[in-house]
Amino acid sequence: MASSTSAAAAAAVSLSLRLRSPYLNPIKFSQFGFSCSKSLQLVLPCLALDASVTSVSTKGEMEKENKLWGGRFEEGVHESVERFTESVSFEAEELWVHDIRGSIAHANMLAAQGLITEGDRDLIIEGLSKIKIKIETGEFVWRKDREDVHMNIEAALIDMIGEPAKKLHTARSRNDQVVTDIRLWCRDAIDRILIRIKQLQAQLVLLALRNDGLIVPGYTHLQRAQPVLLQHLLLSYVEQLERDAGRLINCQERLNFSPLGACALAGTGHPIDRLMTSQELAFTAPLRNSIDAVSDRDFLLELLSANSITAVHLSRIGEEWVLWASEEFGFIIPSDSVSTGSSIMPQKKNPDPMELVRGKSARVIGDLISLLVLCKGLPSAYNRDLQEDKEPLFDSVKAIIGMLEVTSVFAANITFNGERIRSSLPAGYLDATTLADYLVKKGMPFRTSHEVVGRAVALCIAKKCQLSDLSLDDLRGINSIFEKDVYDFLGVENAVNKFTSYGSTGSGEVQKQLQFWCSKLDITSAE
């Protein structure tokens, strides 16, 4: 008997955990073949269930308000379904301004086409303007039983002005309405991201200007490779960001077409003017195909893809700066304003912002993957699955803006430790490739010069010295081609000065790059 009670209690505990989900129906213990004793109820008060609750518990909601689409329905929506399907909780703050703007454009077009009177149009626009003010002042009440941002605003408009508001949805579906809102939102979001990209580019150029002539080790495979100017490295980030901006601009150009008037999927028989609404909303033109207009989310995939590539670039900067701020490198000194400490280790000073930039890149990439998987199996035209496009979209944009902003702040608040960097330069034979180029200038085939310099490096390792420390006799012992002018090619300063090709790390070329970016970004000084 004790064993049976114990099993029942265990099953009840398991059930109680499951019942905490707001999406599950109330379940009676009796259907599992046991009853809940009074003592068990005392131990597990969370299991006390109201026997009067039935499988449909939306009567109260039905008495509050019928759905705007509810004409053919005899039963109300179950409260669990209502909770599960509403989107107003995560989209209202982002989309309301665009929804009102689209509705005003639609009302103007309906009046121009004689589908509503000018008087009704004026009442609709006046009402929408009042709703806009209520939202801005926090007086507007968003209702989950009205499902989404569109129904909340339309229902509030009906409450406010009555019958004229019911004409607003003429020749419009939520299918074309929502994607119009999202395109408008994305267009503005791209502008916000582009501003942050330019700000970060400017901070990187300023950082380069403040570190004129500083040579750092260049790495490949995270191994010492060749000496480069720090300015050259910083400008490489600027170039990456410029491509990121270009992708966003291209995306913005492609998304700037109007789906409004495509209705559910087939268009309408009303004499609407899609060109008029397109122009009023500053779109390039209406989308040609109404089915494609309501179902297309390519522009979201493009935007989130562009964000993901930007996130990867920022993550790579973060990785490099986190490494360079470590004691092992010591190349970067972040200011206290962009560092955090440890709860247990008093000496710690962590470059946390860039660690989080590196970490949040995973989130942005995940948003893209979520949307790709969402779209991959959908049939033509609109499907409710597409409601799930918004949270990854909003999250991706919020994350990438935050990443760009904090990277800009971090760049403005770091110092490069020139003394530490210069003391590290002798290690790694950074001038070896320049020595090989010297031999090529003497007429030696590059592959042969590669082998000769490799032997010189081996000699340095054996003698525990640098290439510039080898005597001319040492070098001639390897190959007689060496002459006294070889020392003009050895050492990191000489090596950097020998780079002259377009876009290289040579001082002259880097100055050209700096001049280009200062002009493009309107930077006049390092301050």
Active site amino acids: 221, 342
Q: Is 276 helix (H, G, I), strand (E, B) or coil?
A: helix
For residue 374, what are the CA distances in angstroms to 91, 249, 301? 18, 25, 11
Strands 332-334 and 414-416: antiparallel
For residue 159, what are the CA distances in angstroms to 69, 128, 140, 152, 477? 16, 12, 13, 11, 96
The upper half-sphere exposure of residue 344, i.e. CA atoms within 13 Å in the direction of its Cβ, equals 0
176 CB neighbour count, 10 Å cutoff: 28
Question: Which DSSP string do the residues of 460-501 spell out, in sequence order?
Answer: HHHHT--GGGS-HHHHHHH-TT--GGGGGS-SHHHHHHT--S
Give dist(CA 496, CA 502) in Å, integer. Answer: 14
Chain-centre distance of CA 454, in angstroms?
A: 45
Q: Which H or E run contains 440?
A: helix 432-441
Bridge partner residues of 219 (DSSP): 224
Residue among 201, 218, 226, 116 nearest 161 (CA): 116
Separate counts of helices (H) and strands (E) for the chain: 21, 6
Residue among 392, 377, 357 nearest 186 (CA): 392
Residue among 477, 486, 471, 479 nearest 431 (CA): 486
Residue among 175, 134, 138, 137 nearest 157 (CA): 134
Q: Are 258 and 285 in contact (CB under 8 A)?
A: yes
156 CB neighbour count, 10 Å cutoff: 22
Give dist(CA 250, CA 247) in Å, integer. Answer: 5
154-392-265 Cα angle (round to 5): 50
